[in-house]
Amino acid sequence: MKLLIVNADDFGLTEGVNQGILDAHRRGLVTSTSLLANGAAFQSAVALARHSPALGVGIHLNLTDGRPIAPPSEIPSLINAAQSFAAKPPQLVQQLLAGTAQLAHIEREFRAQIEHVLAAEIMPTHLDGHQHVQTWPSIFDITVKLALEYGIRGIRCSAERMVNLTSVLKTPSPLRFLRQFAVARALTLLAVGQRARAWRAGLGCPAYCYGITQTGLLDVNTLETILRSVPEGTSELMCHPGYLDRGLQTVQTRLHSQRQTEVDALTQPAITALAARLGLTLGTYRDIQVGRI
C-alpha cells in the first residue's frame, strides 16, 4: 500500500493560513496539519479542528518564532529582552553548539506547548518542528522522550527522499531552489538514523519524506512530480497552504503569496484524480503501522 500523509505546517499562524489549510483539506489532498501552540490564530485553529474530525492534528514545536508558552523566567536561554524567541535556526544551532541554549529550557518549552494543545482538548497525532528544529540530534531525543511520555504516537523525520528535479529546476527561482536543496541535504544528514530511532521507540514515523526542497516552490507541476515518485510504504509530504491576510503580512516569513499557490495546487481536481489513479491512500499519522515501512 502507498500511504501518503499530506501535512500542512503552521496551523494557527494566522486566520488566513488556517482557512487555506481547511480548504486544502476539504477540497484537496491535505489530510494532516501541525498546530503552532503559540500561533496568533491558535484558538481559531482549535475551533476549526473540532469541526474537522478527519483532519489529523499534530504539534509544530517552535523555538524560533513568536513568544514562548512557558514563563520566560523558566527558559531564559531561549528568549531576548522582548521575551520572544531569540534565535532563528542558524543562530539556534550556534547556541546549541556553544551550550548557551540549554536543553533543559528547550524541554520545558516543548512541554508547555504540548500541554497547551492538550488543554485545548486536542489529542495530537504526532510531533514535528517549526523550521525543522526537531532535527537537531539532542532536540530529536527530547522530542522522542516527550512523545512517549504524553502518549503521542507519531514523529516526523526530516530526511528527504529525492525526486526527479527536472521540473523544479525549471522554476523562475533557480537560486531559491538551490538554497532549499542545500537545506534539505543538511537536514537529511542530521536526520541519519532518526527514523530507526523512532521505530525502536515504538513511534510511527513515515519511511519517506517529501517537500523540504520544494518549500516555497510547490506548484501543480512539482506536486505532480512528487506524487508520481511515491513508493510502496508510508510517505509524508510537507506543505504550507494558506491565504495572504493582514496577519500573515506582518509575519517574518518568505512564504506569503506562495501559500495561495499551494492551496490552488493541492485542490486542483486533476491532482486529486491523479492521486487516485496512482493508487495513493491518503491518511494521517493515525494510520501508520508502527515498526513497519
3-class DSSP assignment, residue 207: coil
Q: What is the pTM of this model?
A: 0.94
Beta strands 233-239 and 280-283, pairing class: unpaired
Mean pLDDT to the nearest integer, 92-98: 91
Say if CB 212 and CB 158 are below 8 A apart.
yes
Superfamily classification of domain 2-287 = Glycoside hydrolase/deacetylase (3.20.20.370)
Q: Smallest Cα–Cα separation from 9: which of 262, 182, 191, 286?
A: 262
Residue ranges of E strands in 156-225: 208-210
Digit-coded pLDDT (tens) for 188-201: 888 889 999 999 99
Digit-coded pLDDT (tens) for 24-74: 999 999 999 999 999 999 999 999 999 999 999 999 999 999 999 999 999
**What confidence category does residue 166 fall into, taking pLDDT thresholds of 50, 70 and 90?**
low
| Phi, psi (deg, nearest 5) at residue 56 | -70, 135
3-class DSSP assignment, residue 2: strand
Rounded CA gap, 243 and 258, in Å? 9
Helices 42-50, 15-26: inter-axial angle, 10-degree rounding = 20
202: how many CB neighbours lie within 10 A of its CB? Answer: 12
**What confidence category does residue 144 fall into, taking pLDDT thresholds of 50, 70 and 90?**
very high
